[in-house]
A and B are shown apart, each in its own frame.
Chain A
């Protein structure tokens, strides 16, 4: 069991010309099921390698249970990692694959047997134990990879680097459920890297969103949805993502396009962005005073709701209305951005607010 902490971690692959990850200060509490979410190339995998010890960060420290392990090798860390492509030792059978990390650490054979049997049972590999690992399918191979991660009694954390990429869709949900079961049963700290928000949000209790080498926000899936702390988080999470507009401060609110959003608190300065999720935009077919008049360009059904792409006041944005709404293309719609769900960003972060004049 371990709490993982990254303190001021940065890493550069080219000696400081550019940074793959920067200013990372993150904590994973003992036993948490957590996800690292971000687009390809955002530095998720780099961060994972830094935690497992495959990579020594250019700057900063890695702490396991408060102990500085930055200089320790992966072998000395008790952190397991499962890779994107299933790695099995092809010449060994499944049993010997699972026993491999234990044999390397000179664990007595009877203990190895006990651990391997148990892990094989958890991962439903028992019928394959005598088979050569190379002959199994991708899903079984990935289970072997996971098995090698959890077979050691002293494993404190397991890192998953997009482990379901090469797995067939119909096996994916099964493996994902298996992972959740593992987490419940073993109480290990798990960090799951993915670029698939659905995978992240269903697996994890705590999600960290990354972009361009920076950790933008860490929180519960609901928080990331309700209160994205950066425009990128709002845009990346949710489908469709958040509507984002350039904004300028006014006395009673902010101006977006030709429309003034009334706010009780306003930010100062420039480089403002206003964000509102399509599902939080309040919409009505009837005219209201001070509401924005918009034209529906397209309305399409998404699951159990209707998504309307609208334009008005010089803005293009998306609105989600209930499925049974009579909305059609060409209709006129009146909308308003409720203050409690409107986010204001400045320089890519939540803006600081002052009471309106």
Chain B
């Protein structure tokens, strides 16, 4: 048999250790928890899929999943077109380009907690400027009592925070489109809208794929901002999946919490996979993923 050199393992070892501590061990622990009943001070025992079925029957959880899908869909539906529009309007060169880039990128630099605090300050019914403005139009805005107000506040906060990411990605994508494409479209007599559909959008495909995936995963995992602004309320109306999950874990229901987080994980995984497949093949008229 051929002699092989095993020394390469030493080079892999640091990475393997980090991945083990960082991902593999916690992940296996969670999988383990999801199949056992663990009560403090008592021996744990195997209960099969009982945790999963109890989680799936949990009304709180089911509502949170529905809410989560609605939220992610809504913010993507707003952020993607808005981000593209903003990037189309951004100046391409000169001092204006730099200034716009900084202004647009600013929200991305703010930590999540701070975003939450800022928006809580904005929307407080006693001293925020948002209620004051709404009061001018005889609308009694109150995110703490009115669930519709709370919802829109969270959505708009996310749009404010993350649309810049889509805009910046699209901006870089736009700058990479050679002028000849636009010139050819002009010579072929294409309208501006047509040019956008046949030249711009297809050429933004790869940056949009990244942008949509990132935004989907992040919006699906949203936790800190709504917790800071609305605390999941009024009632449970802005309690998203992370919120429900954290409450389970804080109540030491490790088994159901583990099952919940795994279901949560698989939802993100499956949807991201589907998104990726759809986006890489959209408009290519083939079933093979396309080379970048």
Contacts and interface: CB of A to CB of B under 8 A. Distances in A.
A134 interface: yes
B41 interface: no
Nearest to A83: B180
Nearest to B201: A91
Interface stretch (A98-106, A270-278, A285-293, A299-307): A98-106
A184 interface: no
Contacts of A100: 188, 190, 198
A54 B198 contact: no
A92 B284 CA distance: 8
B94 interface: no
Nearest to B190: A104
Interface string A87-110: 101111100000011001100000
B194 interface: yes
Given A85-B178, A89-B199, A92-B198, A52 B187 contact: yes
A156 interface: no
B183 interface: yes
B186 A104 contact: no
B92 to A, nearest CB: 15
A134 B284 contact: yes
B189 A75 contact: yes
B89 interface: no
B14 interface: no
A148 interface: yes
Interface in B180-235: 180-181, 183-184, 186-191, 194, 198-199, 202-203
A87 B203 CA distance: 12
Interface string A150-175: 00000000000000000000000000
Given A92-B198, A104-B190, A81 B184 contact: yes
B187 A74 contact: yes
Given A85-B178, A85-B180, A93 B285 contact: yes
B186 A91 contact: no
Given A54-B186, A81-B187, A132 B181 contact: no
B284 A132 contact: yes
Contacts of A73: 186
A145 interface: yes
A132 B183 contact: no
Contacts of B186: 54, 73-75
A4 B286 CA distance: 44
A4 B202 CA distance: 36
A22 to B, nearest CB: 23
Given A93-B285, A104-B194, A134-B284, A87 B189 contact: no
B44 to A, nearest CB: 55
Interface of A is mostly: mixed
Interface string B256-288: 000000000000000000000000000111100
Interface in B235-257: none
Interface in A185-235: none
Contacts of B178: 85
A145 B188 contact: no
Contact of A87 (B184, B194, B202, B285): B184
Chain A contact-residue range equals: 20 to 34
Contacts of A85: 178, 180
A84 interface: yes
A104 B188 contact: yes
Interface in A55-90: 73-75, 79-81, 83-85, 87, 89-90
Contact of B198 (A49, A79, A91): A91
A105 B180 contact: no
B220 to A, nearest CB: 29
A92 B198 CA distance: 8
A105 B194 CA distance: 12
Contacts of B203: 90
B191 A104 contact: yes
Nearest to A161: B180
A166 to B, nearest CB: 12
A158 to B, nearest CB: 10
A85 B178 CA distance: 9
A283 to B, nearest CB: 49
A90 B189 contact: no
A137 to B, nearest CB: 14
Nearest to A105: B189
From B188, B190, B203, residue with most partner A Cβ within 10 Å:
B188
Contacts of B190: 100, 104
Contacts of A134: 284, 290
Contacts of A101: 187-189
A95 to B, nearest CB: 12
Interface of A: 49, 52-54, 73-75, 79-81, 83-85, 87, 89-93, 100-101, 104-105, 132, 134, 145, 148
8 contacts: A74-B187, A75-B186, A90-B203, A91-B198, A91-B283, A100-B198, A101-B187, A134-B284
Interface of B: 178, 180-181, 183-184, 186-191, 194, 198-199, 202-203, 283-286, 290
The 10 closest A-B pairs by CB, nearest first: A104-B189, A101-B188, A75-B189, A87-B184, A91-B283, A83-B180, A89-B198, A74-B187, A91-B202, A74-B186
Given A74-B183, A74-B189, A148-B188, 19 more contacts: A54-B183, A54-B186, A73-B186, A75-B189, A81-B187, A83-B180, A83-B184, A85-B180, A87-B184, A90-B203, A91-B198, A92-B198, A100-B190, A100-B198, A101-B187, A104-B190, A104-B194, A132-B285, A145-B184
